[in-house]
Amino acid sequence: MHIMEGFLPHPWWEIWFAVSLPVVALGVYKINRMIKERRETLPLLAVAGAFVFVLSSLKLPSVTGSCSHPTGTGMGAIIFGPWITSVLAVIVLVYQAVFLAHGGLTTLGANAFSMGIAGPAVGYLIYRAAAKSGLHIYLAVFLAATLADWATYLVTSIQLALAFPAASGGVLASFKAFAAVFAVTQVPLAIVEGVVTALMFKYIVQLRSDVLLRMKVLSSDAIKRLKEAAA
């Protein structure tokens, strides 16, 4: 998903910066407020950021100018919401661009939008809808993480298609081509990410259910049921 340095032409890299910046700025405001009001969330916030970093660093070659990898943003979106997760994603993306040559600084806006904004927003909405419908919590987490990953790659395909429309068929044809190539690696990767995220969430329930309760991720009844089932 990381679009490489210098790959997006003018004006597309500037447009994605302009779109992403207000969202990340709001995320910075929310994360500062959360830290002041709930300092007990800091260790879990660090875990969510590390989860994004580790999973998104496992890249595979894919579309020219980009790559395939898990995103890890689903868990952050479930616990902290999409705004704060966008900040975690940007921190990871900057570090990877500077120290790992993974992605780039000129394409940071586009990568932040796909991985840090669009994906987490979809994951958050899926989790809330699934949990409210009565679906088992771990299945809801699995779906949220998997669909957040797929949403990231669909948005990346759109970004690449807009920047490089096909000579025949234009943006739509280009989008289909990019999405088809991404799908070969990303469909199975997203499913694996969903499973890993659900397992990680299960561990967090056992270890820091108090934070999940304060963040209104789970109700006290849901936590009790999950702990009893694991006993």
In this prediction the pTM is 0.94
Mean pLDDT of 106-118: 97
Distance between CA atoms of 228 and 194, rounded to whole angstroms?
A: 23
Mean pLDDT of 40-57: 94
Closest by alpha carbon to 198, among 139, 150, 120? Answer: 139
Give pLDDT tens digits for 76-99.
Answer: 999 999 999 999 999 999 999 999
How far lies 67's CA from each of 58, 61, 82, 156, in Å?
10, 5, 23, 10
For residue 171, pLDDT beyond 90: yes
Domain chopping of the chain, boundaries: 12-230
Mean pLDDT of 109-116: 97
CB 121 within 8 A of CB 12: no
Mean pLDDT of 9-24: 97
For residue 145, pLDDT beyond 80: yes
Residue 134 sits at φ, ψ, to 5 deg, of 95, 5
Taking each continuous run of H as one helix and of E as one strand, the counts in the chain are 9, 2
pLDDT of residue 184: 87
Give pLDDT tens digits for 119-140.
Answer: 999 999 999 999 999 999 999 9
pLDDT of residue 92: 97
CB 108 within 8 A of CB 157: no
Mean pLDDT of 180-193: 92
pLDDT above 70: percentage of residues in the chain = 97
pLDDT of residue 221: 93
Mean pLDDT of 156-181: 95
Fill in the DSSP letter of residue 39: G
- State the CATH class of domain 12-230: mainly alpha
Residues with Cβ within 8 Å of residue 121, at least 6 apart in sequence:
77, 82, 151
E strand or H helix at 67: strand 67-68
Distance between CA atoms of 8 and 14, rounded to whole angstroms?
A: 9
Residues with Cβ within 8 Å of residue 72, at least 6 apart in sequence:
51, 52, 53, 54, 55, 56, 193, 197
Closest by alpha carbon to 79, among 208, 174, 169? Answer: 208
Positive/negative CA dihedral, 115, 72, 214, 127: positive
Per-residue tokens: 161: 């298609």
For residue 59, pLDDT beyond 90: no
Distance between CA atoms of 231 and 227, rounded to whole angstroms?
A: 6
pLDDT of residue 2: 84
For residue 67, pLDDT beyond 80: no
pLDDT of residue 60: 72
